[in-house]
Amino acid sequence: MSRVYNFSTGPACLPECVLEEIRDEMLEYGTSGQSVMEMSHRSKVFEGILHETESTLREIMQIPDNYKVLFLQGGASQQFAAVPMNLMLNRVADYINTGNWTKKAIQEAKIFGKVNVVASSEDRTFSYIPDLTDLPYSEDADYVYICQNNTIYGTRYPELPDTKGRILVSDVSSMFVSEPLDVSRYGVIYAGVQKNAGPGGLVVSIIREDLIRDEVLPGTPTMLKWKTQADADSLYNTPNCWAIYVCGKVFKWIKNMGGLEVMKEKNEKKAGLFYDYLDNKSSLFKGTVEKGSRSLMNIPFVTGDADLDKAFIAECDKAGIVNIKGHRTVGGMRASIYNAMPYEGVVKLIEVMEKFEKEHA
């Protein structure tokens, strides 16, 4: 078997040791006589998996006791609607627009109330994080919304905005469990797990308990009420049992690696190597993001020639480097170097880039 270096934005690569452990438990989990994919979500065995997964996540993220952890379906995109349905009681919210995912969240929130875009980086194709000082927040805003790491454009907030006491909601999908976060600074954090923690089909929402309320917007479906899910410990209906199980394995892997501080160090080392090549060693390849706004997880880059970009992507495929093509709104290439991408994968990518540059100098 020959495994490739998978630079996909998500679903993305998983740690090989986790995949091996899953493989060994595929037919039978523990002594249950059944696969996790077969067992009842109401069984004691699965309840144990669910509780252990949550406990490990709480430990590695240091989640305060007054926050609920919910394992939900619908992906991060469904939270675009769930957030205003559960929080927009004044029918006003402030959003910072830094890319496609905030644009979609803004459009969804407009269904339910007034949305004020208090800052945006759309003027330069979302290649930077806008100035966060003294933003014109609405006095009656129910919350302030950000996407903290932008998968498509490769930007990451260098610091959190001062919301001046307003609830901060953050989509952290593409940086989830890649570095420490001070959970207490947020009202709501949510993340699709398919980038850093597991397979597609699951979103983890971390919500301060006082925001899980009986009062929500009229017409909110039962399934989209956070209180419904919190009161049932994420078991109101059949959850994505398989994804929860895999996430539990990944959370343990992170814990055994040394936790989120160590994970951040590893991610900084990988990203630093790649950015150094783009900035200081290559005359053909260039990054597209302003330096103060660069992501550790997603690095878009271009040659400046669409035909060369296409040729380079073909060379990568031959070399066992896959899913390197950039998003259509940016073009070029994009390397997503999530937790499970080994340092050697970045080294290999740079080797292919160096060879390609010599051949096309």
Q: Across-strand partners of 120?
A: 97
Residues 167, 184: Cα–Cα separation, whole Å: 11
Residues 85, 104: Cα–Cα separation, whole Å: 15
Relative to beta strand 188-192, strand 5-6 is unpaired
- Residue 184 near residue 157 (C-beta atoms within 8 A): no
Q: Which of 9, 36, 5, 24 lies closest to 238, judged by CA? A: 36
Tokens 């190597």 correspond to what residue?
A: 273
Q: Where are the beta strands (DSSP E) in the chain?
A: 5-6, 67-72, 92-97, 114-120, 144-147, 149-150, 155-156, 168-171, 188-192, 203-208, 286-287, 298-302, 321-322, 333-336
- Largest Cα–Cα distance of the chain, in whole Å? 64
Residues assigned a catalytic role: 101, 171, 195
Can you list the pairs that 107-111 forms with residues at least 24 positions away whose Cβ atoms lie under 8 Å?
Answer: 108/80, 108/81, 108/84, 109/80, 109/83, 109/84, 109/145, 111/81, 111/84
Reduced DSSP (H G I as helix, E B as strand, rest coil) percent helix, strand, coil of the chain, to 5: 40, 15, 45
Phi-psi region of 322 (alpha: psi -120 to 50; beta: other; left: phi over 0): beta
Q: How far is CA 272 from CA 25, 64, 81, 149, 328, in A?
A: 36, 32, 36, 17, 25
Phi then psi dihedrals of residue 145, to 5 deg: -120, 135
Residues 23, 292: Cα–Cα separation, whole Å: 41
- Residue 207's SS3 state is strand
